[in-house]
């Protein structure tokens, strides 16, 4: 029998090393390597007994539609692609205190009320604590089976007996199995427990939802391999200072990955936000310089947000560029285009950029709104009121049209906006888009900047500087 050998696994990124070292080569984390014993029981292929062979089938042919368990929380159903899939495993990640336990407890309550059998296994809180939360959420009388346990063996046995349709494991980092020598919370334990629970889900047709904590740099603590094992990975994000919470699909084998669900944290738990634009724009005051409304797209849904910029003289040393809610590399690019193509200098100026409401925007379509907000602050000139902005900027300074302009314009019109600043619509869309909302078309970034500059120089108010959109377009 071959002797068991050992390897060293990084507890931060999950990479495997042959020798111990003080620092992980892959992720640079110090003191993160832990020894794991691996035994080689597997026989080489030629020595294995002949067993069952594979049954191959054709690609075409009948297949059943994926059945779904609707949670009754529309925002959650949207992100999962139409509801939970029996026999699937889902990982829900997020910072501590963001509301993962609250969301999932509410989901079990809704599912139980709809007649599904649900179980909630808490490894972090006592049953008393979960009961108190349930009381606060007004769901004391919903038939959810609750248990507090961290040992995997009893959990699997208990679930086999209970046979729930949906089970929540809160959280995967607290579980341990006595099959391994490693301490609870280590990569080896998290990996083994996730694997066992995923297998349980597949075998019993139960939907297993694993809660996972996220490290400060945004990764699910423990191995990335958990993300590969499960069918869907959802992130629950948001700023603790704001009441909005966003559930985002990061991976989904049963649906799209760019959908978001928006929630609001209230005294009585999380409530759904069916119209996020109204929420993100809530509290916007008089038009002020440095603010631009971006008509964005999150998945299939248009979402309007305010982008705020501040350009101020740098007090000393290297000027600062600080970004919240957008990509700092992208900001550097927009600033470079503004300098090189429009002659706006940011030398000796600090630039701050913020997406209001705690939303994180990933779309390049926000380029034009960012540039407009920055120019508006630099020239201390408010942008025209009741106007949404979207468009991608190329390095040459051209403004490019972006996808699904009509959806963005419709959302803006619905919320009472009067016009849009965007790229020249493509031939096929010109007629339709302009009827939804008048568009002030910008061929290149200097067109926009010169208007902001001109209105500031001549002391015009925003209305007379920008005039009527139909005339301009």
Side-chain half-sphere exposure of 435, counting CA atoms within 13 A = 4
Which of 17, 110, 117, 133 lies at the binding interface for ligand TYD (CB under 6 A)? 133
Q: Quote the tokens at residue 462.
A: 């925003």
Per CB under 5 A, residues contacting Mg ion are: 101
Question: In the window 79-108, what residues touch ligand TYD (CB under 6 A)?
Answer: 94, 96-102
CA 120 – CA 149 distance, rounded (Å)? 10
Burial of 307 (0-12, 13-18, 19+ CB in 10 A): buried
Which of 81, 222, 238, 269 lies at the binding interface for ligand TYD (CB under 6 A)? 269
Count CB atoms within 10 A of the CB of residue 291: 22
Instruction: Give the relative orientation of helices 328-342 and 445-457 as an angle to the nearest 10 degrees.
Output: 70
Cβ proximity to ligand TYD: between 122 and 252 the closer is 122
> Minimum distance between the CB of residue 32 and ligand TYD, rounded to whole angstroms?
24
- Any idea which residue has 């808490």 for tokens? 122
**Please, are residues 88 and 253 in contact by the beta-carbon 8 Å criterion?**
yes
> Minimum distance between the CB of residue 134 and Mg ion, rounded to whole angstroms?
13
Q: Is the dihedral angle over the CA atoms 207, 208, 211, 214 positive or is it negative?
A: negative
Q: Which does 391 bind (CB under 5 to 8 A by kind): ligand TYD, Mg ion, none?
A: none
Q: Which does 269 bind (CB under 5 to 8 A by kind): ligand TYD, Mg ion, none?
A: ligand TYD
Looking at 260-268, 391-399, 404-412, 420-428, which segment touches ligand TYD (CB under 6 A)?
Answer: 260-268
Beta bridge partners of 94: 213, 236
Looking at 8-16, 133-141, 182-190, 393-401, which segment touches ligand TYD (CB under 6 A)?
Answer: 133-141
- Any idea which residue has 């009827």 for tokens? 435
Beta bridge partners of 23: 30
Cβ proximity to Mg ion: between 233 and 291 the closer is 233
- Note whether 173 binds ligand TYD by CB under 6 A: no
CA 349 – CA 420 distance, rounded (Å)? 29
> Minimum distance between the CB of residue 174 and Mg ion, rounded to whole angstroms?
10
Determine the distance from the C-alpha atom of residue 293 to the mean position of all C-alpha atoms in its chain, rounded to a whole number: 21
x/- string (CB under 6 A) for ligand TYD, residues 143-162?
--------------------
Q: Which does 99 bind (CB under 5 to 8 A by kind): Mg ion, ligand TYD, none?
A: ligand TYD
- What is the DSSP secondary structure assignment for residue 164, as one 8-state letter? -
Cβ proximity to ligand TYD: between 103 and 193 the closer is 103
- Note whether 136 binds ligand TYD by CB under 6 A: yes
Q: Which does 217 bind (CB under 5 to 8 A by kind): ligand TYD, Mg ion, none?
A: none
* Residues binding ligand TYD (CB under 6 A): 94, 96-102, 133, 136-137, 265, 267-269
């Amino acid at each position: 029998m071959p002797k068991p050998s050992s390897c060293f696994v990084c507890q931060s990124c999950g990479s495997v090393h042959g020798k111990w070292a003080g620092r992980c080569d892959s992720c640079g984390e110090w003191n993160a390597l832990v020894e794991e014993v691996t035994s080689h029981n597997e026989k080489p292929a030629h020595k294995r007994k002949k067993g069952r062979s594979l049954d191959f089938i054709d690609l075409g042919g009948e297949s059943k539609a994926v059945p779904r368990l609707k949670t009754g929380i529309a925002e959650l159903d949207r992100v999962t692609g139409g509801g939970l899939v029996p026999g699937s495993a889902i990982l829900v990640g997020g910072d501590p205190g963001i509301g993962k336990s609250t969301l999932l407890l509410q989901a079990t309550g809704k599912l139980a009320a709809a007649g599904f059998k649900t179980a909630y296994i808490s490894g972090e809180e006592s049953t008393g604590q979960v009961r108190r939360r349930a009381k606060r959420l007004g769901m004391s009388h919903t038939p959810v089976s609750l248990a507090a346990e961290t040992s995997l063996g009893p959990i699997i046995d208990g679930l086999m007996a209970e046979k729930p349709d949906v089970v929540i494991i809160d959280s995967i980092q607290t579980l341990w199995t006595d099959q391994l020598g490693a301490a609870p919370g280590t990569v080896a334990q998290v990996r083994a427990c996730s694997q066992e629970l995923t297998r349980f889900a597949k075998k019993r047709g139960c939907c297993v939802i694993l809660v996972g904590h996220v490290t400060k740099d945004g990764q699910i603590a423990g191995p990335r391999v958990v993300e590969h094992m499960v069918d869907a990975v959802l992130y629950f994000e948001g700023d603790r200072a704001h009441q909005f919470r966003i559930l985002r699909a990061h991976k989904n084998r049963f649906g799209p990955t760019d959908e978001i669900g928006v929630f609001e944290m209230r005294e009585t738990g999380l409530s759904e936000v069916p119209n996020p634009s109204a929420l993100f724009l809530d509290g916007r005051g008089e038009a002020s310089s440095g603010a631009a409304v971006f008509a964005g797209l999150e998945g299939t849904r248009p979402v309007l947000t305010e982008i705020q910029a501040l350009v101020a003289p740098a007090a000393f040393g290297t000027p600062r560029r600080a970004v919240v809610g957008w990509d700092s590399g992208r900001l550097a690019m927009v600033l470079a285009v503004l300098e090189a193509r429009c002659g706006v200098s940011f030398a000796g100026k600090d630039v701050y950029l913020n997406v209001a409401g705690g939303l994180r925007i990933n779309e390049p379509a926000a380029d034009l709104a960012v540039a407009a907000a920055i120019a508006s602050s630099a020239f201390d000139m408010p942008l025209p009121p009741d106007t949404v902005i979207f468009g991608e900027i190329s390095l040459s300074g051209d403004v490019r049209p972006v996808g699904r302009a009509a959806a963005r314009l419709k959302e803006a019109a619905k919320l009472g906006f009067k016009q849009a600043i965007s790229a020249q619509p493509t031939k096929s869309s010109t007629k339709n888009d302009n009827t939804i909302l008048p568009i002030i078309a910008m061929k290149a970034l200097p067109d926009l900047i010169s208007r902001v500059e001109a209105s500031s120089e001549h002391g015009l108010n925003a209305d007379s500087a920008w005039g009527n959109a139909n005339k301009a377009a």
